[in-house]
Amino acid sequence: MKITFWGAARQVTGSMHVLDLPGGTRVLIDCGLDYENRKEFEAKNERFPFDPESIDLVVLTHAHIDHSGNLPNLIRQGFSGRIVSTAPTLLLSEYLLNDSLNIQRMELAAKEKAIRRKRGMKGKNIRLQPLYAKKHIQDFVDMAVQVDYDQSYVFNEELRLSLHQAGHILGAASVRFEVTHGNVVHRVGFTGDLGNANSKLVPDPHPMEGLDYLVSESTYGGRKHMTDSRRAEEILLDEVTEVCVQQGGKLVIPAFSVGRTQAIIFTLHQLYRQGKLPNIKIITDSPLAIRSTHVYQQHISYLNEEAHEFQRQHGGLFNFPLLHVVEDDRESELMSVIDEPCVIISAAGMVEGGRIQMHVRNNIGNERNRILIAGFCAEGTLGWRLLQGQDFVEINHKSRPVRASIRRTDVFSAHPDHEQMVNYFEQSHASRGLKGLFLVHGDFVQMQKLAGDISFCQVHLPGKGEVFQLN
């Protein structure tokens, strides 16, 4: 059996790993978009380094676009096998893939315009195509098989698999493969993205048992979370009190539509039911987040005990009288200039694109307001630039004075930190004894730090396209 690492190899995005089984079955684990360098987006994602028709099975660990985003393109180029995921992952992916297609179309339209401007009549007939069409998203839905956590799924005589709770976001799964060849059975696990301990809504990750090899994410290797997730209510209440009550300002929170937005709204709802939340508008402004929130509410059985208990007591996780859901673009604009203390939660998380840019632009010039960065911001993004502490920041090609305060919190982090990961590996090792650990989905320096703390088995940091024989 061999494994080839085609994505998220010494980088965070573009998860894509191929497992070749001795009997000829070919499995792809995740099929994400590579976002590492926006200028090379098409070149990096258009073609696959293997024949899409040769893949028999795709296992999708979770809905995030850096894990699911290139699957419709794989289908467009001939993949016709089976896709396995949990039920919520399937629903969330459908929404995220449609959103990703819209973003691609908008970006390509802007590119076409620039080309026409540059080439005049010669560029008149230029038409740039997105990676896939809407039809391929529907094909994805039709080809998918839903598998529940901890159930054994038999694919063929040499392969059975099971999905396990990974935390991270609703429906996220780690996958455990059991490969039988003659009298020998190999067991290989892939963590997918793991969740932070004690996160809002999602359970803690469940390590897989009896593995020979483990392929793991390593996003926060070498880093320690500053704030325990159990302090989420306290931290958020402090922010709301300081900004909205004491300063009479607006608290603007950029948040990813799937995962972070639901965790923040749920926490505010908890504060409301405890009678602690001041009487201010909580504005949620992202069409994708609103759709995803419904999927969370529909799949309570996938959420943690705290969410179950809250549901039993209050009959719903997200709806409360102070919550205001923005319907359309026009209302979104009105809400961004509303002249009263409020909380605005909008996407995208790194303040790149989406409606959040307008909210930041319209509120950054007032010293009473605050932008609360609640997630990871890649270098060069607007979120990252805001965190650099400069007096002026460029938004939509215009320099704007930064008068609002800029804060950061990692209390809503959706990944485990260094120590949590080392614990996870130790637990994975304890039941059978790992022969090897492969780290992916992290920067090289972070991976090295994590690898430096593992002494009980061999640790590999595979490069892109690197092949390993698993015996």
Where do contacts with Zn ion occur on this chain (CB under 5 A)? Answer: 64, 193
Rank residues 25 and 100 by Cβ distance to Zn ion and give the closer one.
100
Rank residues 262 and 332 by Cβ distance to Zn ion and give the closer one.
262
Rank residues 360 and 374 by Cβ distance to Zn ion and give the closer one.
374
Rank residues 93 and 362 by Cβ distance to Zn ion and give the closer one.
93
Burial class (CB in 10 A: 0-12, 13-18, 19+), 328: exposed
Rank residues 25 and 216 by Cβ distance to Zn ion and give the closer one.
216
Please state the closest distance from residue 56 (CB atom) to Zn ion, in A: 25
Rank residues 64 and 418 by Cβ distance to Zn ion and give the closer one.
64
Who contacts 35 (Cβ-Cβ below 8 Å, separation ≥6)?
Answer: 13, 14, 41, 66
Hey, what amino acid is at 110? A
In whole angstroms, what is the distance from residue 21 CA to residue 51 CA? Answer: 16
Residue ranges in 132-278 assigned as alpha helix (H):
134-143, 232-240, 260-273
Question: CA 82, 83, 87 angle in degrees (round to 5)?
Answer: 135
Hey, what amino acid is at 398? K
Please state the closest distance from residue 14 (CB atom) to Zn ion, in A: 12
- Distances in whole angstroms, Cα of residue 452 to Cα of each of 138, 222, 381, 437, 440: 44, 9, 30, 12, 15
Please state the closest distance from residue 108 (CB atom) to Zn ion, in A: 25
Rank residues 64 and 260 by Cβ distance to Zn ion and give the closer one.
64
Who contacts 183 (Cβ-Cβ below 8 Å, separation ≥6)?
Answer: none
Query: Peptide bond before 348: cis, by omega within 30 degrees of 0?
Result: yes
Please state the closest distance from residue 193 (CB atom) to Zn ion, in A: 4
Burial code (b: 16+ CB inside 10 Å, e: under 16) for 386-398 equals bbeeeeebebeee
Please state the closest distance from residue 318 (CB atom) to Zn ion, in A: 21
Q: Note whether 102 and 134 are within 8 A (CB).
A: no
Please state the closest distance from residue 349 (CB atom) to Zn ion, in A: 11
Please state the closest distance from residue 465 (CB atom) to Zn ion, in A: 23
State the SS3 of 366-423. Answer: CCCCEEEECCCCCCCCHHHHHHCCCCEEEECCEEEECCCEEEECCCCCCCCCHHHHHH
Please state the closest distance from residue 169 (CB atom) to Zn ion, in A: 6
Rank residues 64 and 355 by Cβ distance to Zn ion and give the closer one.
64
